[in-house]
Structure 1
Amino acid sequence: MSFQRHDKRPAKNLPSNKARYNEGNSLSPWRESLNTIIFGSETLKGKIFDLGLSICILLSVLVVMLESVDFIHKRHTEALFVMEWFFTVLFTIEYVLRLITVRRPWLYFKSFFRLVDLLAILPSYLILVVPGGQGLLSIRVLRLLRIFRIFKLSEYLSEAQLMMAALSKSVRKITVFLYAVLMLVVVCGTLMYVVESSEAGFTSIPVSIYWAIVTLTTVGYGDISPQTPLGQFLASLIMIMGYGIIAVPTGIYSAELIKTYNEEKIRNDACPDCGRTGHDFDAEFCKYCGHQLGDYS
């Protein structure tokens, strides 16, 4: 005989899995407040923070550009040095705050924009060790992509993600198209090598293929040009084909873009756990770390 205990008391005092998860991963009040300001572009404080950060990024890039001008660099060396290190320290503090205000800093560190944040401050410190690295500082202009989160301009960021998704779906078709173009320029270049002489610049088949690529893409450097009537006639045909060929990948990509736009709708609020964006409008949980998202309106 087996004895079983049937406890019919309500389990209202037992926390759910979601509650236990949120309790174990909750932030302290001051970290939660900073998280809302730094990652919450939907709030007034978040908009002010993003706007101020973008202005600082623009000013820091301007300092780097002015430093590359010789007479400005010679006259204002100390001022430019002080301003550059002011922005470097400011961006370092901002980067550290981003790390400590997310629940999973490693997920934050792995994402693309967070690596850009790190690359924006590393060159200044590398200059102390590696001379001549000032040009690397211009990489922080990539951080201006954050400006799309200001003033609820989420449609711009979502459109960028839709464009990338459509481009990835068009890769195979565009690859086949480029292969056909490659065969065409090889044939046209070989024909021009046979028709024209070396005096006209067609000294080899690779050089002739280079001319065919420049002509087919309608760039037309003019460093090599056919001299014979047959060569000029062939060049005219290649130029006309170039205009028609340009429209092919555009049509392929446009079709995929429309299809992807109808399939995907993306929101722009950041996950409070890993700080990443790009979730569906009807998503309740982050697709990168699984944390519950806030209400989006």
Structure 2
Amino acid sequence: MSDSIKKPSWKERLHEIIYEADTKEGKLFDVILLIAILASILLVMLESVKSFDNAHHSLLNIGEWIITILFSIEYILRVISIKKPSKYIFSFYGIIDFLSTVPMYLSLFFIGSQGLVALRALRLLRVFRILKLARYIGASNKLMLALKASRAKIAVFLFFVVIVCIILGTIMYMIEGEENGFTNIPVSIYWAIVTLTTVGFGDIAPQTPLGQLIASAIMILGYSIIAIPTGIVSSEMTKTDVDTNTQSCPSCLKETHKTNATFCYNCGSILN
């Protein structure tokens, strides 16, 4: 009796393990990569400590090459396991994966004192591996969707903040003047931004009673506007709170499909 259920091909099986986390193998794959990413970031940090690097440079270099080879294998498997490799290669995560892997190979071509500066810059690109962690945080997709949906409202809010800073900076320039450190309008706007965001470097401070009163009002205003972008994003996150899984489309790599979905919501391809 022939088996009526079609068995998935090796590419489909590989895609399920690499791009999804609903299976035991997929979870194990993600855990191994998480450990490798954290280890690589630790190696980059330790390498920047001169005393530790001088004492353990060979060990750090061997560890980095092991992780680089592991990420290279991961990159190749991600490319060959989807129907349209270009969708992954030129995607955000594809570019991040490439930038986090290629510096070690490029460093082989920068030999000699003249290439030390470029070599250091290339090796520091490995810090991009920290961005690889985002794909393994379940809530990150929901946050990205909420930020995308609220980008217009956030843009209006930022435009309002810029206008307020320009107006307040100009007012403080007229009140305080050059003798109190507000030498021109751009410097005064810089002070308004620093004060409104509650950073308060203290390099410039109003000296007149009226200027101090306005500065106090700006500080209080700064605390009140902090909640606005948070509320905008939180509102959009509640709208995107739907029942989704980690299933990834083998054709276009779109994620956040609804549970029990048969077809991709973006390209219509059949999901594995």
Between the aligned partners of 1:147 and 1:260, the Cα distance in structure 2 is: 19
Q: What displacement does 1:96 show?
A: 1.4
Indicate the residue corresponding to 1:253 in structure 2.
Answer: 233
Report the TM-score when normalising by structure 2. Answer: 0.84
Does structure 1 residue 140 correspond to structure 2 residue 139? Answer: no
Question: For 1:230 and 1:92, how far apart are their aligned partners in 2?
Answer: 62
Asked if the contact 2:20/2:246 (under 8 Å) is kept, the reply is no
TM-score, reference length from structure 1: 0.77
Matched residue count: 258
Q: Write out per-residue CA displacement over residues 170-195 of structure 1, whole angstroms, 9 at most, x where no aligned residue.
A: 23333333333222222221221122
* 1:216-264: CA deviation from partner (whole Å, max 9, x where unpaired): 1211111111111121112112222222222333333333332343xx4
Identity %: 48
Assess if the C-alpha contact under 8 Å between 2:22 and 2:246 holds in 1: no
Is the alpha carbon distance of 1:219 and 1:270 closer, same or farther for their aligned partners in structure 2, counting shifts above 3 Å? same
Distance in 2 (CA, whole Å) between partners of 1:273 and 1:288 is 10
Match of 1:287 among 246, 256, 265: 265
Structure 2 residue 196 is matched with structure 1 residue 177: no
3-state SS of the aligned residue for 1:279?
coil
Report the CA distance between 1:30 and its aligned residue.
4.2
Alignment-mate amino acid for residue 213 of structure 2: F
How far residue 69 of structure 1 moved from its aligned partner, in angstroms, is 0.8
Q: Does 1:125 align with 2:91?
A: no
Please state how far the C-alpha of 1:82 moved relative to its aligned partner: 1.6
- Computed over aligned residues only, the root mean square deviation of the Cα atoms, in angstroms, reads 2.4
* Inter-partner Cα distance in structure 2 for 1:175 and 1:40: 34
d(CA) in 2 for partners of 1:179 and 1:33?
48
**Structure 2, gaps ≥5 residues long:** 1-5, 110-117
Q: State the AA in 2 paired with 1:270.
A: S
State the alpha-carbon separation in 1 of the partners of residues 236 and 11 from structure 2: 42
Q: How far has the Cα of 1:265 moved from its partner? A: 3.8
Q: Distance in 1 between matches of 2:226 and 2:240?
A: 22
User: For the pair shown, which has the larger CA radius of gyration, 1 or 2?
Assistant: 1
Cα deviations by residue, 1:28-87 (Å, 9 ceiling, x for unpaired): x54444334333422222222221122122212211211111011111122212221121
Instruction: Summarize deviations over 1:129-188 as a string: whole Å, max 9, x none.
Output: 34222111111122223433xxxxxxxx2x433333332332333333333322222222
Letter in 2 for 1:86: I
What are the residue-to-residue correspondences of 1:63-102 with 2, within 5 Å? 63-102=43-82
